A and B are shown apart, each in its own frame.
Chain A
Amino acid sequence: MTEEILKFISMGGHSFYIWTAYFIPLTLIFSLVITLRSKLKRIKKNETEV
């Protein structure tokens, strides 16, 4: 089982290229989503206060 997981993580010796290619774009795009959601929440809060 552990061997299977390690084999999956190593991606045939190309783990750096594959995991970085998934991690960086998804982090960037979901960071934008989180930033926009919090901005919208803040504006809605200010709107109700006004």
Chain B
Amino acid sequence: MLRYLHKYANPVRFLSIARPMRKAMGLLSLFIILVGLVFALFFSPPDYQQKETVRIMYIHVPAAWMSLMIYAFISFSSIVFLVWKFPLFLILAKESVTVGVIFTFSALFTGSLWGKPTWGTYWVWDARLTSFLILFFIYLGLKLIKESFSHSSKGDYAFAYLALIGGFNLPIIKFSVDWWNTLHQPASIIRTGGVSISNEMLIPLFLMATGFLFLFIYILLVSVEINLKKRKMGYSKDKIIN
């Protein structure tokens, strides 16, 4: 594995693979999200209890999955950076933060909008919602470190250690609905007893999740290319922004 990591941790080699992949990911994500939206808004049936509001699930659940997956990716990349000192993995971790913040905010925001018509309230301090809010704050902390120490190696280590420590929140989020009594429903898809929702609802859910996954890969590849080009040209951050 280490040999494999060494091979692709080279920025030039990484970019040679990333460029053609980026275009494919961009087009694929756009197409899959559009198809997913058509299924979510037109073809999926209303729920017998929640009626039309169940359609919020097709954006809320994939956004929540993405925020957890992106955080796991950030933690993994930070471990690789801390153990083997590959700078490319730190760049990958840092460039994932902004999109992670957006997905986590989206999951909280859409969950809140879904909560009002189904639970009668926008927010409750139950274990799932609170642990997810903590994830959002950890993401904001990472973003703050990323922006504050953009030219210092001390910031790199602060970022990697916070990313690692924050990873302990992921199993708490996943199992919070089993460990505590929560208003949030238990898992319906990733659970030991198998999937508990109908195929008509699963199709748009997986289409949106796949579209978001490809979109994340696309955003990450563009961000990493920008970062590597900035480094190569020795540009200051301000020069690029203005």
Residues of A near any B CB (own CB < 8 A): 11-12, 14, 17-18, 20-22, 24-26, 28-29, 32-33, 36-37, 39-40, 42-44, 46-47, 50
A33 contact from B105, B114, B219, Cβ within 8 A: B219
- Are B113's CB and A17's CB within 8 A? yes
A-B pairs with lowest CB-CB distance, top 9: A25-B106, A12-B52, A21-B110, A11-B52, A21-B56, A21-B113, A17-B113, A36-B222, A43-B229
Residues of B near any A CB (own CB < 8 A): 37, 41, 46, 51-53, 55-56, 59-60, 63, 98-99, 102-103, 105-106, 109-110, 113-114, 116-117, 215, 218-219, 222-223, 225-226, 229-230, 233, 235, 240
Nearest residue, chain B, Cβ from A28: B102
Q: Among A14, A20, A47, which residue has the most Cβ atoms of chain B within 10 A?
A: A14
- Are A32's CB and B109's CB within 8 A? no
Residues in chain B near residue A18, CB distance under 8 A: 52-53, 55-56
- Are B117's CB and A14's CB within 8 A? yes
- Are A17's CB and B99's CB within 8 A? no
Residues in chain A near residue B235, CB distance under 8 A: 43, 46
- Are A17's CB and B53's CB within 8 A? yes
Chain A nearest CB, measured from B107 CB (Å): 8
- Given A21-B59, A32-B98, are A12 and B226 also a contact pair (CB < 8 Å)? no
- Are B233's CB and A50's CB within 8 A? yes
- Are B230's CB and A43's CB within 8 A? yes
- Given A32-B99, A32-B219, are A39 and B240 also a contact pair (CB < 8 Å)? yes
Residues in chain B near residue A36, CB distance under 8 A: 219, 222-223, 226
Residues in chain B near residue A44, CB distance under 8 A: 229
- Are B60's CB and A12's CB within 8 A? no
The 25 listed contacts between A and B (C-beta, < 8 Å) are: A11-B53, A12-B51, A14-B51, A17-B56, A18-B52, A21-B56, A21-B59, A21-B109, A22-B41, A22-B59, A29-B103, A29-B215, A32-B219, A33-B219, A33-B222, A36-B223, A39-B226, A40-B225, A40-B229, A42-B240, A43-B226, A43-B230, A43-B233, A44-B229, A47-B233
Residues in chain B near residue A50, CB distance under 8 A: 233
A31 to B60, CA, bound (A): 19
